Amino acid sequence: MAKTKRKILFTSHTANFHKFNRPLMRMWRGKLEEPYADLNIGNWEVDYACANEEKVYDADRVFTVDFARSPFRIDKHIKAYRQLKRILRSNHYDVVHTHTPVGSIITRMATKSFRKKNGLKVIYTCHGFHFYDGAAKINWLLYYRAEKIMSKYTDLLITINREDFKRADENFPCPVKMIDGVGIDTTKFNTKLNKTDKLKLKKEIGLEKDDFAIVYVAEFIDRKNHQMLFESVAGILCENSKIKLVLLGMGVLEEKIKKLAEDLGIANQVLFLGYRHDVYNVLQCCNLCVSTSKSEGLGLGVLEAALCGCSILISDNRGHRDIVDDNKKYLFKLGDNSELEKKIRDAIKNLEKYRLEFPERYSLRSSLTEMKDIYEEFLK
């Protein structure tokens, strides 16, 4: 007689976030392929609950829950809570693994009675607390208090940077572990563009053969702080027409940022490429990655750029510091435009100085190995 499958439910407020969970979902289902097949757990049924605004892959079933990102949408939170309770009541899960701040709060509220009555275990992976050194007071008032309360209903909290781990470990009552990010599939970078293909792609995106390309992969939102980058590179771009700024991403502030480029007189040297499926190839056409983000749980775009051979300059925040092990050479102070401009000028002349060898601890194999060990210990 076949062994009955156990069940795990993943939750996140947005379906888009499931891309970070897909390797874990395949691991539970026993569907990881080479070169990761040896890390399969297998024989688990895997479901996913989210706003379901786009297709979710690698789940047995997907449930629509009307999560809201804003903490102030009480009406939607109540609805999402009730929807989750119905899902939990009908499916008898062994484990719930939740992600994203507001979605995880609603999830843990909904799982409270099931933990007590049914032995359900709850894991929460925090991809960057909204409260951190230098965060706004409102973030501390709202999110710190909420996370501390909800940690009482969490069987395991996982963080992805040292600052978050230290704060949670010292202040929250639940067990806390740290992993090195969500893992980058380095096999995607095994094929490098040859010279002909690189020149062809450069031309397609608006770069000349001998242009020096500064790249930033980020949503156009306030946290990503494009304004600091623009103000810091404006003088450099105006002096040298062979230097270009390449931006990948979309977001609510895109038109505002385009207007800023015009106001600074650099619009002709800023390439807005939008959302692309060939980010790895575009990165191979660039020289220097600069991230001016105000806060990062980790900094996935920076790691991908390093893996593609770009040199890097990054703002001094918790996630970025972890990537470079606090090496000040790569870091610049938020708000200090003159420091960033000086470092960019130096990088243009001394590109190798800012080259970062990709830290293997951030690879998908390393991440999956860490998570498998955590899961197996957790389920003992």
Q: Does the domain made of 6-183+363-378 have the CATH classification 3.40.50.2000?
A: yes
| Single-letter residue type at 42 | G
Give just the sign of the alpha carbon dihedral 355, 357, 359, 364.
positive
Q: Where in the chain is the domain with CATH 3.40.50.2000?
A: 6-183+363-378, 186-361
Query: To which residue do tokens 């740290």 refer?
Result: 178
CATH T-level fold of 186-361: Rossmann fold (3.40.50)
CA 158 to chain centre: 14
| pTM for this predicted structure | 0.91
pLDDT tens string for the chain (380 positions)? 345 789 999 999 999 999 999 999 999 999 999 999 999 999 999 999 999 999 999 999 999 999 988 888 999 999 999 999 999 999 999 999 999 999 999 999 999 999 988 899 999 999 999 999 989 999 999 999 999 999 999 999 999 999 999 999 999 999 999 999 889 999 887 778 999 999 999 999 999 999 999 999 999 999 999 999 999 999 999 999 999 999 999 999 999 999 999 999 999 999 999 999 999 999 999 999 999 999 999 999 999 999 999 999 999 999 999 999 999 999 999 999 999 999 999 999 999 999 999 999 999 999 999 999 999 999 88
